[in-house]
Amino acid sequence: MNTELILSIPDTRPYPDTPNKNELLRYAADILHPKTQAQSKLAAGQLLAEIVQALHERHTLSLSVAMAMVKNPAQYRLLWQYLCKALSPQNNDEIQWLAFPVAAVIGANQQGCLNNAIPVADIQSKLIEYNQLDIIKNAHFLPKLIGSQQLAEITAEDWFDAKRSLANAEEFANKINALPVCYDKGQQVLMLYALCYGGQELSDMAGKPLGKAALPLMQVWQELLNNQEITVFANPMSADLPIAALQQGNAQRRRMALDIFTANAVRSIRLQYPRVGVVIAAEDGGSLLFIFHPIEPNPLPPLVFRHFLTPEEEIPLIVQDFLDLMAQCKVEHIHILSEALPKGEVPTYAQAIEMKGGNPFFS
């Protein structure tokens, strides 16, 4: 695998050209590039304290500006990490909120809505039986699954208030009125979330792999979501802080959407032509393009999947996952472009191989 070629893909996300005087960004820079260990430790404490104060006062403009003005994905991930720390319980009186994401791949002949009642007893029994997570018995689950959009509308300030005491958590839980989770005609990936809260001991579950419980939990969700009108595949993910689970769920949805698009594109081309060509390119404005086209001369327009890069994503990891998929699909004719494409320009495979770049499968 030619890793240098993968690393040559330009990052076209609009990072600021001039330094920003935001204090949070200065602390982040001191943590990532400290002159001394003491400087790093001091900056870490100051960064966490500033974020906690901003959430407590519900005045998060400085944090919003900092996350919008980062210089690179590493800086964004560091700010995100400290935001998650601020939303985690700091003592036994505070509450741990968790979200269990479920990715549902749905094929439907008509619009409809899913059964979103959470089978609490089944979830708890599987986690206890297979992972010995007895602490889940004390978790208070909300009665229904909620979708990505509804979860995204809950602010960090809301989560901060909801974790400060059991009374706050109960009051907040009662305010969440789960909306119907509906699907459109066709094939799609939906992210669903089961929310729960409990004592600080639930923190041990945040971000930990499901392990042996993954398959039994998959069966639980499969049985819940399935109906005669659709085909569905449910993929449960690790529980985490709600904002972290939402971020991971969105990334999983994008990966699965690309996998589905790729499988359909490769199948469609191979029905008419023997060889599939793939172009991977950055596009001005912060996108990655995955372009599918037959190698043989043909009148077909290229099939294009546009991946809009989020601030925390690493381009090499996205591309490496995609290349692993290409190897499974036995697609060898791949061309990575080392220069960004202008918006709206989509070359065919034949055109792309005349442009600067190369095949990552060959050194």
Contact indicator for 112, 180 with CB cutoff of 8 Å: no
Segments of the chain scoring below 50 in pLDDT: none
Q: In whole angstroms, give the CA distance from residue 190 to residue 233.
A: 10
Nearest residue to 154 (alpha-carbon basis) of 197, 111, 106: 197
Length of the chain as a residue count: 363
Contact indicator for 101, 248 with CB cutoff of 8 Å: yes
Residue 182, beta-bridge partner list: 113
Ranges of each domain in the chain: 3-86, 96-240, 262-358
End-to-end CA distance of the chain: give it in Å, rounded. 7
Q: In whole angstroms, give the CA distance from residue 279 to residue 358.
A: 10
Q: What is the CA radius of gyration of the chain?
A: 23
Q: What is the pLDDT of residues 130-189, one digit of tens each?
A: 888 889 998 999 999 999 999 999 999 999 999 999 999 999 999 999 999 999 999 899
Q: What does each C-alpha distance from 3 to 88, 118, 161, 354 come to in angstroms?
A: 37, 44, 45, 21
| pLDDT of 335 | 97
| pLDDT of 363 | 62
Q: In whole angstroms, give the CA distance from residue 287 to residue 308.
A: 4
Here the tokens at position 222 are: 């499969």
pTM of the model: 0.91
